[in-house]
Amino acid sequence: MDSYFNARDEAYQKFTRERQALWNRIAAKEAKKVRWSSYYHHRLNATYRSIIPVGSTILEVGCGRGDLLAFLEPSVGVGVDFSEGMIAAAQKAHPQCEFICVDAHALPDLGRQFDFIILSDLVNDVWDVQTVLAQLKPFCTPKTRLVINFYNRLWELPLKVAQAIHMATPLLDQNWLTQQDMRNLLQLCDYEVVRTSSEVLFPFYFPLLSGLFNRVLARLTLFKFLCMTNFLIARPSGGACEDKPSVSVVIAARNEAGNIAQIFQRVPEMGSRTELIFVEGYSKDNTYEVIEDIAAQSNRPVQLFKQEGTGKGDAIRLGFQHAQGDVLMILDADLTVPPEDLPRFYDALISNRGEFINGVRLVYPMEKQAMRPFNTLGNKFFSTAFSWLLGQSIKDTLCGTKVLWREDYEKIAANRAFFGDFDPFGDFDLIFGAAKLNLKIVDLPIRYRERTYGTTNIQRWKHGLLLLRMLWVAAVRLKFV
Same-domain pairing of 142 and 264: no
What pLDDT sits at residue 452? 57
Note the pLDDT of residue 464: 66
Q: What percent of the chain has pLDDT over 90?
A: 64
pLDDT attached to residue 33: 42
Query: Does residue 184 sit in the same domain as residue 270?
Result: no
Residue 3 clears pLDDT 50, i.e. is over it: no
From 236, 268, 301, give the residue that closes a domain.
236
Q: pLDDT of 280-296, one tens digit each?
A: 999 999 999 999 999 99
Q: How confident is the model over 448-462, as a mean pLDDT?
A: 59
User: Which alpha helices (DSSP H) does 52-126 contain, by range?
Assistant: 67-71, 84-93
Task: Answer yes or no: is 345 within a domain.
Answer: yes
How buried is 458 (Cβ within 10 angstroms: 0-12 exposed, 13-18 middle, 19+ buried)?
Answer: middle
Angle between helices 312-322 and 406-414 (to 10 degrees): 120
In a domain, 469, yes or no: yes
Q: Does residue 279 sit within a domain?
A: yes
Helices 373-390 and 427-436 sit at what angle, rounded to 10 degrees? 20
Task: Tell me: do 227 and 284 sit in the same domain.
Answer: no
Statement to judge: residues 59 and 168 lie in one domain: yes
Asked whether residue 442 falls in the same domain as residue 377, the answer is yes
Mean pLDDT of 257-279: 97
Shared-domain flag, residues 227 and 260: no
Domain CATH code at residue 431: 3.90.550.10
Which residues have CB under 8 Å from 359's CB, separation 6+?
Answer: 337, 341, 345, 396, 399, 400, 401, 402, 443, 444, 445, 446
Q: Are residues 226 and 254 in the same domain?
A: no
pLDDT at position 8: 60
pLDDT mean over 457-461 = 52
Q: Is residue 100 part of a domain?
A: yes
Instruction: Round to whole Å and give the CA distance between 434 and 328.
Output: 14
pLDDT confidence of residue 181:
96
pTM: 0.89
Cα 409 → chain centroid:
13
pLDDT tens digits for range 119-165:
999 999 999 999 999 999 999 999 999 999 999 988 888 888 887 88
The answer as to whether 241 is a domain residue is no
Of 201, 236, 271, the residue that ends a domain is 236
- Measured CA to CA, the distance from residue 120 to residue 231 in angstroms comes to 9
For residue 128, give the CATH number of its domain: 3.40.50.150
- On whether residue 186 sits in a domain, the answer given is yes
Distance CA 137, CA 192 (A): 13
Residues 378 and 267 in one domain: yes
> Residue 130's closest CA among 183, 199, 200?
183
Q: Please choose, from the candidates 194, 199, 169, the residue with its C-alpha nearest in 3D space to the C-alpha of residue 183.
A: 194
Pairing of strands 441-445, 274-280: unpaired
Asked if 405 contacts 349 with a C-beta cutoff of 8 angstroms, the reply is yes
Residues 90 and 186 in one domain: yes
- Three-state secondary structure call for residue 260: helix
pLDDT for 209 beyond 80: yes
Please indicate whether residue 115 or residue 37 has the higher confidence score (pLDDT): 115
Residues 301, 273: contact at Cβ < 8 Å? yes
Same domain for 167 and 297, yes or no, is no
Q: Which residues have C-beta within 8 Å of that of residue 158, sequence separation ≥ 6?
A: none
- Spatial neighbors of 377 by CB under 8 A, at least 6 apart, are none
Q: Is the pLDDT assigned to residue 63 strictly greater than 80?
A: yes
Per-residue model confidence (pLDDT) at position 212? 93
- Residue 340's domain comprises 247-479
Residues 430, 316: Cα–Cα separation, whole Å: 10
Instruction: Characterize the bridge pairing of strands 247-253 and 327-330.
Output: parallel
User: Domain count of the chain?
Assistant: 2
Give the Cα separation of 479 and 473 in Å (integer).
9
Paired with 236 in beta bridges are 191
CA distance linking residue 203 with residue 200, whole number of Å: 6
Q: Give the pLDDT band (50/70/90) at residue 386.
A: confident
CA-to-CA distance for 376 and 217, rounded, in angstroms? 31
Looking at 236, 267, 287, which one is the last position of a domain?
Answer: 236
Tell me, yes or no, whether 169 and 71 share the same domain: yes
> Do the domain assignments include residue 242?
no
Residue 260 has pLDDT above 90, yes or no: yes
At 34 the pLDDT is 41
User: Is the domain of 292 the same as that of 388?
Assistant: yes
Residue 43 in any domain: the answer is yes
Predicted pLDDT of residue 73: 98
pLDDT, one tens digit per residue, over 320-356 is: 999 999 999 999 999 999 999 999 999 999 999 999 9
